């Protein structure tokens, strides 16, 4: 990923030159997410001997690895949008609702049309879904950037109302559609690969190029890293912040199309349920701090794949899939603790503080009465 280049250990600083190549590798930003993913994958080999096998059947690629990529595609997209939002120091809780709304709108449009199988119908449906997501993103963006509502709260509104809107669109039913072009988005194959993988790869690539070939990435990191300084160098933070919420909504909408296309149905109630939490987790796992600033799209993709692999593993081992939540809870806490400066300071300061308190406070009781002659 392009973020990697800027994260290379600094050769000028003395510690880096003195350390071993191994240490240089572990400092590499994507190192730990990659290790976790690799360990998970290898562990799977223990349960499923043919886990790494990929074979071609009827011109399509099949295999567990392909499945992980395929089913992980919507999460990758949502996490991608979330990465940029978190980079500005915000959060977008409404993505799950946006997933549901976009799938519902597209399926409604297709089911109503006279010719559900035509490309034109599907393109219109996709257009409507993405267009509505644009509006939702603008609402979030304006609330956060212009009105100045805290991001959690601002996006909470759409998180609550959005589910209702999605069910309103589907009238509380599950809308099923039969449309080959629509099926392609989430369930079809193209050039031997599941189309969803190609689509998400394309969007990820586009996002990487957009943030790293233009100055967008730098400006976002600056706004997230130090909003005050960013204003004083003349960055138009308000626009940028609004923009990332729009981008996040568009990514979520695309993910919504994928999810509904894959099952050829829109379920306003369950589509994209909890995906906001998985996305936040993916971003955090990928090494982007919740405090904003530096972000790593590559890390986020790895993070999303870790979560997807975890789900797959849990399925294959035969543990109830819902219990992955317990793992996720521990992962969230572990990652946040590692990122927390207070936690690090406490770990580092433990020895030092113990020494100091012992030495400097022989009389830590206040006040010590010493008789003073009048």
Partner 1 sequence: MQQPVLEVRGIRKEFPGVVALDGVDFRLFPGEVHALIGENGAGKSTLIKVLTGVHPADGGEVVLAGSQVWIAGPLQAQQAGISTVYQEVNLCPNLSVAENIFIGREPRRFGLINWAAMRRRAAELVRELDLDIDVSAPLNSYSIAVQQLVAIVRAVDVSAKVLILDEPTSSLDRDEVRQLFAVIRRLRDQGVAILFVSHFLDQIYEICDRMTVLRNGRLEGEYLIGELNQVQLVSRMIGAELAGLDQLGGGKRRERTAPAGGTAFLQADGLTRRGAVDPYDLAIRSGEVIGLAGLLGSGRTEAARLLFGADQSDGGTLRIEGAETVLRSPRDAIAHGIAFCSENRKTEGLVGELTVRENIVLALQAARGWLRPLSRTAQDAYALRWIRALDIRPGNPEALVRNLSGGNQQKVLLARWLITDSKLLILDEPTRGIDIGAKAEIQKLVANLAEDGMAVLFISAELEEVLRLSHRVGVLRDHRMVAQLDNDGELTPERVMATIASGADQ
Partner 2 sequence: MNANALLTRLRGQIPLLVTAALLVSMFSIGSVQYDGFFSGQVVLNLLIDNAFLLVVAVGMTFVVLTGGIDLSVGAVVALSTMVSAWLVERHGWPPLLVIPLVLLMGTAGGWVMGWVIHVFEIQPFIVTLAGMFLARGLCYTISIDSISITDPQYTAMAQTRIPLGSLFVSPSAVIALLVVAVGFVVLHYTRLGRNVYALGGSEQSALLMGLPVQRTKTTVYAISGFCSALGGVLLTFYMLSGYGLHAVGLELDAIAAVVIGGTLLTGGSGYLLGTLLGVLVLGLIQTVISFQGTLSSWWTRIVIGALLFVFIVLQRLITARRR
8 Å CB contact between 261 and 185? yes
- Rounded to whole angstroms, the Cα distance separating 217 from 201 reads 19
Residue with tokens 């297709």: 110
- Rounded to whole angstroms, the Cα distance separating 344 from 49 reads 40
Q: Count of CB atoms within 10 A of residue 278's CB? A: 25
Q: Write the binding mask 141 to 160 for partner 2: x where contact by CB under 8 A, - elsewhere.
A: --x---xxxx-xxx-xxxxx
Helices (H), the chain: 2-6, 14-18, 21-27, 31-47, 64-87, 95-112, 119-141, 151-170, 180-187, 195-213, 216-225, 227-232, 237-263, 275-285, 297-317, 324-339, 341-360
Which of partner 2, partner 1, none sits in contact with 216, Cβ below 5 to 8 A by type? partner 1
- Rounded to whole angstroms, the Cα distance separating 77 from 130 reads 14
The CA angle 58-69-330, to the nearest 5 degrees, is: 150
8 Å CB contact between 258 and 196? yes
Residues of this chain, 339-368, that bind partner 2 according to CB under 8 A: 340-343, 346
Which of partner 2, partner 1, none sits in contact with 149, Cβ below 5 to 8 A by type? partner 2
SS3 assignment, position 229: helix
Decide if residue 280 touches partner 2 (CB under 8 A). Answer: yes
Paired with 190 in beta bridges are 193
Comparing CB distances to partner 2, the nearer of 118 and 167 is 167
Binding residues vs partner 1 (CB under 8 A)? 6, 8, 10-13, 213-216, 218-219, 221-222, 225-226, 228-236, 240, 293-294, 360-361, 363-370, 372
Which of partner 1, partner 2, none sits in contact with 370, Cβ below 5 to 8 A by type? partner 1
Decide if residue 290 touches partner 2 (CB under 8 A). Answer: yes
Decide if residue 161 touches partner 2 (CB under 8 A). Answer: yes
- Residue 69: both structure tokens together: 């990529």
Which of partner 1, partner 2, none sits in contact with 343, Cβ below 5 to 8 A by type? partner 2
Burial of 80 (0-12, 13-18, 19+ CB in 10 A): buried
Q: Which stretch binds partner 2 (CB under 8 A): 31-39, 118-126, 161-169, 229-237?
A: 161-169
Decide if residue 138 touches partner 2 (CB under 8 A). Answer: no
Which of partner 1, partner 2, none sits in contact with 156, Cβ below 5 to 8 A by type? partner 2
- Rounded to whole angstroms, the Cα distance separating 47 from 53 reads 14
Comparing CB distances to partner 2, the nearer of 58 and 318 is 318
Which of partner 2, partner 1, none sits in contact with 259, Cβ below 5 to 8 A by type? none
> For residue 368, what is the DSSP state?
P
Which of partner 1, partner 2, none sits in contact with 48, Cβ below 5 to 8 A by type? none
Comparing CB distances to partner 1, the nearer of 147 and 232 is 232
Q: Which residues bind partner 2 (CB under 8 A)?
A: 91, 143, 147-150, 152-154, 156-165, 167-168, 171-172, 268, 277, 280, 290, 320, 322-330, 332-333, 336-337, 340-343, 346
């Amino acid at each position: 990923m392009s973020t990697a280049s800027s994260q290379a250990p600094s050769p000028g600083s003395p510690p880096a030159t003195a350390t071993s190549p191994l240490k240089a590798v572990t400092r590499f930003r994507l190192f730990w997410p990659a290790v976790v993913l690799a360990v998970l994958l290898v562990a799977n080999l223990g349960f499923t001997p043919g886990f790494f096998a990929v074979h071609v059947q009827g011109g399509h690629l099949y295999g567990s690895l392909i499945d992980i990529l395929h089913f992980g595609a919507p999460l990758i997209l949502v996490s991608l949008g979330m990465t940029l939002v978190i980079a500005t120091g915000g959060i977008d809780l409404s993505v799950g609702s946006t997933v549901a709304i976009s799938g519902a709108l597209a399926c409604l449009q297709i089911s109503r049309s006279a010719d559900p199988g035509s490309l034109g119908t599907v393109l219109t449906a996709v257009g409507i879904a993405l267009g509505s997501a644009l509006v939702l993103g603008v609402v979030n963006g304006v609330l956060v950037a212009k009105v100045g509502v805290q991001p959690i709260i601002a996006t909470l509104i759409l998180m609550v109302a959005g589910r209702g809107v999605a069910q309103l669109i589907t009238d509380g039913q599950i809308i099923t559609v039969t449309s080959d072009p629509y099926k392609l988005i989430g369930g079809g194959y193209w050039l031997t690969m599941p189309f969803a993988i190609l689509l998400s790869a394309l969007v990820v690539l586009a996002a990487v190029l957009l943030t790293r070939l233009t100055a967008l990435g730098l400006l976002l990191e600056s706004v997230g890293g130090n909003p005050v300084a960013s204003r004083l160098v003349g960055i138009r933070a308000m626009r940028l912040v609004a923009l990332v919420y729009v981008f996040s909504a568009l990514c979520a909408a695309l993910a919504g199309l994928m999810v509904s296309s894959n099952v050829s149905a829109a379920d306003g109630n369950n589509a994209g349920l909890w995906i906001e939490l998985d996305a936040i987790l993916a971003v955090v796992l990928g090494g982007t701090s919740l405090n904003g600033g530096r972000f790593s799209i590559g890390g986020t993709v790895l993070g999303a794949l870790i979560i997807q692999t975890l789900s797959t593993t849990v399925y294959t081992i035969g543990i109830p899939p819902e219990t992955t939540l317990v793992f996720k809870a521990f992962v969230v806490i572990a990652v946040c603790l590692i990122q927390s400066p207070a936690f690090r300071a406490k770990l580092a300061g433990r020895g030092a503080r113990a020494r100091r308190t012992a030495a400097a406070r022989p009389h830590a009781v206040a006040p010590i009465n010493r008789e003073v002659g009048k």
